[in-house]
A and B are shown apart, each in its own frame.
Chain A
Amino acid sequence: MTAALSIRNLRKTYGNGFEALKGISLEVQQGDFFALLGPNGAGKSTTLGIVSSLVNKSSGDVEVFGHSLDTAHAQAKMCLGVVPQEFNFNQFEKVMDIVTTQAGYYGIPPRLARERAEYYLKKLGLWDKRNQVSRMLSGGMKRRLMIARALVHEPRVLILDEPTAGVDIELRRSMWAFLQEINRAGTTIILTTHYLEEAESLCRNIAIIDHGRIVKDTSVKALLQQLNTETFILDINPPQAALPALNGYQARLEDDHTLVVDVEKTQGLSRLFSELSSQRIEVQSMRNKANRLEELFVSLVDKNLTDEKNA
């Protein structure tokens, strides 16, 4: 099966001489829900910009459903829907006009364009606003408008550059549900995000990019399995003045009633509990620390930085 997106050895040096991409290769399979992760300035938008013809590449190849951007760019563009990071619609046009105009650019006849616009504006909760000038929408609405606009020609791949930045939690959840729905219906989805929770709960596959290089390209599952240790925070009673002896566990006391323990996959938790109860220490509540993916992310990016310095 041809990949939905195939990127080979992509490089980009901007006009000011800055090398934003240093040879990136990626494959996204059809039907995938794919996340591109990375810190600010890593090159995510540059990569997606090249894929969506907004940025000129310096070298390398990009194919969308087997259509090369160099030799079959019209076919490639037909397969792509793009939701950019920054608002890029005409602030003076009405919501409905923005969506139907975009449909026209893909050669969709006016009547069908209006039907599609109605369908997607309703789906995204913007139908009430259809006659409003886009400048008057809230930030979250503007982002949804860009999603409706990107879907109006029913692309096979939807690319979203930080779709949930600046969107409140409730709306974010409903946007996730919507993206999952269209993904189930067959649309391949590629998104960038800074929220690891988002990648973890939505995406099947993930690539981490940093300083213009891919530092990890794997499935979310495999990535999570890489995490051997998990850190737990335990509220204990009675208060302890000194760290209780916990055979084999890495532990420290945060304060006299908060115990922090690193638990390796192989160790399990039951022995920890029996160790504690044998010392008559009661566990009142327990939670695990922060986002595990976040820790991994930080460690990968740190490693890349050290590698770079050493290189």
Chain B
Amino acid sequence: MKPRELFIAFWTIVVKEIRRFMRIWPQTLLPPAITMTLYFIIFGNLIGSRIGEMGGFDYMEYIVPGLIMMSVITNSYGNVVSSFYGTKFQRHVEELLVSPIPNWVILSGYVVGGVARGVGVGLIVTLLSLFFTDLQVHHLFVTISIVLMTSILFSLGGFINAIYANSFDDISIVPTFVLTPLTYLGGVFYSIQLLPEFWQGVSMLNPILYMVNTFRYGILGVSDINIVFAFSMLLAVIAVLFSYSLYLLQKGKGIRS
């Protein structure tokens, strides 16, 4: 296919993906808006006022970046895993398989679809947070790139999960048992400086900690971790997940008998 045709094919997938999550907005856009508003009210306003400062900031100011990031992570992952699993389950993945689209374009299309939802929900949550606090972006470039990279990474994760999934249960295992705990323990609600040294060390093994803290650094200018290291790690993980997804697509794992 010529570059122009490749772009049309890519864009077709992206538009289809966006159309999907917009069509079912009560399942995709509304829930995070409600949950995050509740977090803002309960943790930020009600409890937060008693906690006082965290990392030198109001508790509300401290958790807002974490909660935005949490929405980006769950929605990027959730979009790709359910969309691609649905594509497999309803067999319309065959529409893609019979067409001449190269696998890297298929993968990029789904990932950008996931990024669209992750970033879209991130924006909704950011707007909602403005009712509770003032946000000032400290480092615009760091903020935008960490959001995009995190979103890409978890979209790829969702894609791989969907390829291996054989039932609807299989698409909720990872979000429930891996993503949620890692996110809660990833410094969304607290600075790891509060933890005993041993648990600080353990927390440093949690990749989500790096994303949340880099984002917080972008907004507030404070971080528990080294930003350069965080970016390099993210890039490396993205490269590995992208190649692995491509390998699975090439093999037809879960989609071609």
Interface positions of A (Cβ within 8 A of B): 14-15, 49, 52-56, 73-75, 77-78, 80, 82, 84, 86-92, 97, 101-102, 104-110, 149
Contact = CB atoms under 8 A, between A and B. Distances in A.
A224 to B, nearest CB: 34
Contacts of A55: 256-257
Contacts of B100: 73-75, 77-78, 105-107
A52 B98 contact: yes
Given A104-B8, A105-B101, 16 more contacts: A14-B257, A53-B256, A55-B256, A56-B252, A78-B100, A86-B91, A88-B90, A88-B95, A90-B92, A97-B16, A101-B12, A104-B9, A105-B100, A106-B9, A106-B100, A107-B6
A-side interface mostly: loop
A21 to B, nearest CB: 13
Main secondary structure of the interface of B (DSSP, over half): helix
B: interface residue count bin? 20 to 34
Given A55-B256, A78-B100, A105 B12 contact: yes
A102 B9 contact: no
Given A74-B100, A105-B99, A56 B257 contact: yes
Interface centre among B87, B95, B98 (most CB of A within 10 A): B98
A106 B1 CA distance: 8
Residue of A77, A104, A105 with highest tally of chain B CB at under 10 A: A105
A54 B13 CA distance: 19
B197 interface: no
Count chain A CB atoms within 10 A of each CB in B12, B90, B252 and give the residue with the most.
B12
A105 B96 contact: yes
Interface centre among B87, B95, B102 (most CB of A within 10 A): B95
Interface of B: 1-2, 4-6, 8-9, 11-13, 15-16, 19, 23, 87, 90-92, 94-102, 252, 256-257
B96 A104 contact: no
A73 to B, nearest CB: 7
- Going nearest first, the 8 A-B pairs with the smallest beta carbon separation are A107-B5, A104-B12, A105-B99, A74-B100, A88-B91, A77-B100, A88-B94, A82-B98
Given A55-B256, A56-B256, A109 B8 contact: yes
Nearest to A92: B23
Contact of B98 (A53, A86, A92, A109): A53
B98 to A, nearest CB: 5
A88 B92 CA distance: 5
Given A14-B257, A108-B8, A90 B98 contact: no
Contacts of A149: 95
A85 to B, nearest CB: 11
A202 to B, nearest CB: 23
Nearest to B3: A107
Contact of B11 (A14, A80, A90, A104): A104
A107 B9 contact: yes
Greatest chain A CB density within 10 A among B23, B100, B102 is at: B100
A74 B90 contact: no
Contact of B97 (A53, A75, A89): A53
B8 A54 contact: no
B132 to A, nearest CB: 36
A91 B96 CA distance: 16
Contacts of B91: 86-88
A55 B97 CA distance: 10
